[in-house]
């Protein structure tokens, strides 16, 4: 059984569907239950990943329903395009709370409930590897996610728990479209910055995730799979 956070739309929904199609039992966690169930998981639960009580309750419900947890895809995240000198403390804390603290809390409570070997896949970003303009909070949060994933890989290898991160380029999701809506020419500019000349599709990130959480990646841990259309190769 695999938990996917932010499983109601975008990359999260595509991941739920890909894992389901490959025969995995999937549980989707999102802010409300209707959204969590939109991707047709085995179970959808409302969960606020920034609230440890909410996270623990959701994972307890998963164990009560399915008996065990094999792993998790830490996908829930938000973006912020604001220069550092204009970023408020509230904005900074909001981004770090969802993207990094949320990943920590779900990873923690998943590991506590694992009865044997398993796998975690963190959805980081190319912005955790290279700077993207006017996104200091987002870049910091995703760099933190990569560091967290590596630390877990080392600390829990003796239990057979693998931990890896997927680092997407810009992905064509509802969140991305909303972010770029005020800048009609920005989409063309950003597409041109990917050598493959387009945004990623959510299904492409889901495919990379499915590989890392599967037994095909049984000797892969503590690494990042970059799925960015060549963006960071330049």
Distance, CA of 125 to chain centre: 9
Q: Which residues contact 8 (CB under 8 A, 6 or more apart)?
A: 28, 30, 31, 35, 36, 37, 38, 39, 44
Judge whether 78 and 174 are in contact, CB under 8 Å.
no
Distance of alpha carbon 143 from alpha carbon 15, whole angstroms: 22
Catalytic status, residue 231: no
Q: Which residues contact 158 (CB under 8 A, 6 or more apart)?
A: none
Distance of alpha carbon 43 from alpha carbon 223, whole angstroms: 29
Is the sign of the CA dihedral 84, 179, 200, 21 positive or negative? positive
Distance, CA of 210 to chain centre: 12
Is the sign of the CA dihedral 72, 77, 83, 89 positive or negative? negative
Distance of alpha carbon 220 from alpha carbon 13, whole angstroms: 24
Q: Considering 138, 156, 211, 231, which one is annotated as catalytic? A: 138
E-strand spans in the chain?
2-5, 26-30, 43-46, 71-74, 118-123, 161-168, 224-227
Which residues are identified as catalytic? Answer: 138
């Amino acid at each position: 059984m695999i938990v996917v956070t932010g499983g109601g739309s975008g990359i999260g929904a595509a991941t739920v569907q890909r894992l389901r199609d490959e025969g995995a039992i999937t549980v989707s966690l999102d802010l409300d239950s209707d959204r969590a169930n939109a991707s047709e998981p085995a179970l959808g639960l409302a969960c606020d990943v920034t609230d440890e009580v909410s996270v623990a309750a959701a994972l307890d419900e998963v164990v009560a329903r399915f008996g065990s947890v094999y792993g998790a895809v830490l996908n829930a995240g938000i973006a912020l395009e604001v220069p550092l000198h204009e970023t408020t403390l509230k904005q900074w804390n909001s981004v770090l709370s969802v993207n990094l603290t949320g990943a920590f809390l779900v990873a923690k409570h998943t590991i506590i409930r694992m009865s044997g070997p398993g796998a975690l896949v963190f959805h980081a970003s190319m912005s955790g590897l290279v700077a993207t303009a006017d996104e200091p909070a987002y870049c910091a949060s995703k760099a933190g996610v990569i560091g967290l994933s590596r630390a877990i890989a080392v600390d829990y290898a003796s239990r057979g728990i693998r931990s890896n991160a997927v680092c997407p380029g810009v992905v064509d999701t509802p969140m991305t479209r909303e972010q770029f809506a005020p800048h009609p020419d920005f989409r063309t500019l950003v597409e041109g910055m990917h050598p493959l000349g387009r945004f990623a599709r959510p299904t492409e990130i889901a495919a990379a995730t499915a590989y890392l959480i599967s037994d095909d990646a049984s000797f892969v841990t503590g690494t990042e799979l970059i799925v960015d259309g060549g963006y960071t190769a330049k």
